Amino acid sequence: MKIISSKDNLLDGINIVQKAVSSKNNVSLLDGILLEAGDIFKMTGNDLEIGIECIVESDIRKKGSVVINSKMLGEIIRRMPESEVMIEMLENYDVIIECENSHFKIKGNPADDYPSLPKIEAEQSFKISQKIAKEMIRQTIFAVGVDENRKILMGSLIESMENEINFVSIDGFRMAMRKRKEDIQNTNFKVVVPGKTLSEISKILQPVDNEIEIFSTKNQILFKINNCMVMSRLLEGEYLNYRSIIPDEYETKVKVNKKEILSSIERASLISDDEKRYPVKFEVIDDTIIISSKTEIGDVRDEITVETEGKNIEIGFNPKYFIEALKAIEDEEIYIFFNSDIGPCTIRPLDSDEFAYMILPVRIKN
């Protein structure tokens, strides 16, 4: 194998495929990046959960393939001058990397044993802008479950139907749902993507308008992002019917400035140490919310003026859940709907159905 490509193109490719290379993997070949020069030059990273393949524009002088330690390859290319880089595999799997007056020789590995990525025969797909996909992941991923006994909740539901795309995460204590009107033809896309995959995808996605395409089969999902393909298995099983758990009635409805209530909850959570999270108490009394907390460190109490409809209520929450939901919201004002002091509250926009964040309350000692 012998190719010549610009430092920048190589580095862009390496930075992306490295997201699928786990340094903790027991299979040492998976510490590597597979380089393949055929009619095109391709790099592949694969940790057996996520696989990423990038086509890198190159001048192919000799076909062939080799696996090079990912960290080493990345550091070498990163430190090269801004110029053309030559990568050549010798017969004993030594790899020469040259750029201007710099000359590296490192050990490579045969490509034969490198696990190939599954061939995906896409059944369905839709397109979405990078920026929107990145945002929707950020706005829901924090509520993905971590409980190994409820595997299906360790991913986000992505569904497209009737010209809308929904991202939903539920961890048993809270739900994050984002809806987006998009001109989608396909009406039957419904998959559960592992949280880890979405986390890596969101690092690859840039806040730009150009589109990515998302393909699915029964067991696999594939994201086509520019010259790169990210493949991941899907989580198997039936996802919770999230629509049925969003309450459609309420006893108390509060209209509040998002920044104000976020700051208040952040302050109220200050006097609890990180491990022992104390609940924060919300008291809706007419047109005021009092947000307070009491721990061995001290007391804190904040008052916010709001617009209220319905009953007064006193209810406790894990402040972390509220803070994460509020940080995922850009709106200046929001509604918070309460049902009872043991039912979930729901955060919704003033005049759309673009999001719903639901949080279960916790008992507060008086």
Applying CB under 8 A, the residues found at the interface with a second copy are 72, 75-76, 79-81, 94, 101-107, 263-264, 266-267, 270-271, 297-304
Quick one: 185 exposed, middle or buried, by C-beta within 10 A (0-12, 13-18, 19+)?
exposed
The two three-digit tokens of residue 129, written as one number: 């802008």
Q: How far is the CB of 304 from a second copy (least distance, A)?
A: 7
What secondary structure does DSSP assign to 14-44, as a single string?
A: HHHHGGG--TT-SSGGGGEEEEEESSSEEEE
Report the residue number, 297 or 342, with the smaller CB distance to a second copy.
Answer: 297
Report the residue number, 158 or 291, with the smaller CB distance to a second copy.
Answer: 291
Q: How far is the CB of 306 from a second copy (least distance, A)?
A: 12
Q: List the one residue out of 175, 310, 179, 193 whose CA is nearest residue 245.
A: 175
Bridge partners, residue 174, by sequence: 359
Report the residue number, 81 or 172, with the smaller CB distance to a second copy.
Answer: 81
In whole angstroms, what is the distance from residue 243 CA to residue 328 CA? 20
Q: How far is the CB of 361 from a second copy (least distance, A)?
A: 23
Q: If you count them, how many residues does the chain have?
A: 366
In whole angstroms, what is the distance from residue 325 CA to residue 216 CA? 29
CA-based R_g, the chain, Å:
25
Q: List the one residue out of 146, 208, 134 whose CA is nearest residue 174.
A: 146
Residue 42 in contact with residue 53, Cβ under 8 Å?
A: yes
Q: How far is the CB of 166 from a second copy (least distance, A)?
A: 34
Report the residue number, 81 or 110, with the smaller CB distance to a second copy.
Answer: 81
Report the residue number, 71 or 190, with the smaller CB distance to a second copy.
Answer: 71
In whole angstroms, what is the distance from residue 359 CA to residue 353 CA? 17
Burial letters 238-248, b for 16+ CB under 10 A, else e: ebeebeeeeee
- Reduce the DSSP state of residue 218 to 3 states and report it: coil
Q: How far is the CB of 297 from a second copy (least distance, A)?
A: 6
Q: How far is the CB of 259 from a second copy (least distance, A)?
A: 10
Q: How far is the CB of 100 from a second copy (least distance, A)?
A: 9
Report the residue number, 104 or 173, with the smaller CB distance to a second copy.
Answer: 104
Q: How far is the CB of 75 from a second copy (least distance, A)?
A: 5
E strand or H helix at 282: strand 280-285
Report the residue number, 56 or 76, with the smaller CB distance to a second copy.
Answer: 76
Report the residue number, 236 or 307, with the smaller CB distance to a second copy.
Answer: 307
Q: List the one residue out of 9, 11, 33, 36 whose CA is nearest residue 21.
A: 33
The two three-digit tokens of residue 193, written as one number: 């993507």
Q: How far is the CB of 272 from a second copy (least distance, A)?
A: 11
Backbone angles phi, psi at 137, to 5 degrees: -65, -50
Report the residue number, 57 or 100, with the smaller CB distance to a second copy.
Answer: 100
